[in-house]
Amino acid sequence: MIPMAKKLPRDLSDDTRSLFARVADSLRSDILENRMAPGHKLPSEAALEASFGVSRITVRQALASLHAEGLIEKLNGKGSFVTRPNESPDMGPLTGFYEHMRAQGRRAFGRIVSVREVGAPVSAARALDVPVGHRLLVLRALRLVDGKPLAFGVSYGEPALMRALIQEDVNTNDVVVLLEARLGYRLRSNRLEARAIAASTAMARRLDLAPGAPVLRIDFTPVDVSGQPMVYSEMFFRGDRFSYKAVVRR
């Protein structure tokens, strides 16, 4: 049973956030920290009104905000319920690399090359919003399709999170899928940057290329609904075996 929240003060002179945002923040925290698990029924509007000491319209605004974020769903005549993370989250191109390849009838899997703690380099620190030198776990892995190397990835994240991803098997599942479907995180967006580079000697060796051959570098940073960057990944794809396609709609 989830304990009811403490009443919020009506005097907002020391807090510029509106009442409904504060109610939404409290409920969102309970959902994201799994104090209200997927499928859990939220208290009734009347109960929330009494618990937070706010009006019915404020409660409804807060619930509407959570509904817009995909955290809850309202079932007519039954109330509001915490939604379940998507088993196949749609976070934009390339986040479902393994599933995309398998859908084409190809054999896709990964091979972990190394796992170790490091001080955050500038690129990872900027992407994850942590100080340069902050302790992160870095995972280096090769992605193979039909037994041949297609991509090499370097992923940075908080040690506990990265170990959880490794335990859930990053060799056969994409990070975004694991974050939502296995670990219960709610993702809002996926930052992406792509550019062509020439393969360094070390990268060429990993991908079975000639040094200087074209490689497509794509950086990914999935972000949860609270705005927290989760994992920063630098992916390097063979230019002769991989193409990046997207449809942009207005």
Show the domains of the chain with their CATH numbers: 19-82 (1.10.10.10), 97-238 (3.40.1410.10)
- The span from the CA of 185 to the CA of 169, in Å, is 16
- The span from the CA of 67 to the CA of 24, in Å, is 10
- Let me know: does 64 contact 25? Beta carbons within 8 Å: no
pLDDT at position 185 is 85
| Whether residue 197 has pLDDT greater than 60 | yes
| Whether residue 5 has pLDDT greater than 90 | no
| Whether residue 15 has pLDDT greater than 70 | no
- Let me know: does 173 contact 155? Beta carbons within 8 Å: no
Model pTM above 0.85: no
- Let me know: does 124 contact 156? Beta carbons within 8 Å: yes
Higher pLDDT, residue 10 or 124 = 124
